[in-house]
Amino acid sequence: EAQVTQNPRYLITVTGKKLTVTCSQNMNHEYMSWYRQDPGLGLRQIYYSMNVEVTDKGDVPEGYKVSRKEKRNFPLILESPSPNQTSLYFCASSFHRGDTEAFFGQGTRLTVV
């Protein structure tokens, strides 16, 4: 089954404790990205990757890091989480062509206390 898998689904952590949210896709997609969803602000892109070892900032990259060492994986790293990073996070993937469908993971609910 074609899917984007995120882990964990739920996470509660303390301020400053480094964490990683994993994302994996099995569709051989070149393009992967991370979004956060906040009430009243909608979905905003954090980082994206056009292919292995190619990453770039989206609209709200501050406080986040990513890496793309393999085509299927695109982890989101919070080196020093803060309460304003409490949010619902989504990983998405698609082929690089602009006319293709985007697939989303099930989301990760992160709470930073």
Binding residues (CB under 8 A) for another protein: these are 31, 33, 40, 42-43, 45, 48, 50, 56, 58-59, 88, 90, 92, 94, 96, 98-99, 101-107, 109
Dihedral (CA of 57, 103, 17, 52) sign:
negative
Distance CA 58, CA 76 (A): 13
We find the least distance from the C-beta atom of residue 100 to another protein, in angstroms, to be 8
Minimum CB–partner distance for residue 101 and another protein (Å): 5
- Which CB contacts under 8 angstroms, 24+ apart, belong to 66-72? 66/34, 68/32, 71/28, 71/29, 71/30, 72/24, 72/25, 72/26, 72/28
CB of 59 to another protein, least distance (A): 8
Choose between 17 and 56: whose C-beta lies nearer to another protein: 56
CB nearer to another protein: give 75 or 105.
105
Nearest-approach distance from CB 80 to another protein, in angstroms: 25
Q: Which is nearer to another protein, 14 or 43 (CB)?
A: 43
Q: For tokens 């099995």, what's the residue?
A: 26
Q: Which helix (H) or strand (E) holds 108?
A: strand 108-112
Residue with Cβ nearer another protein (45 or 86): 45
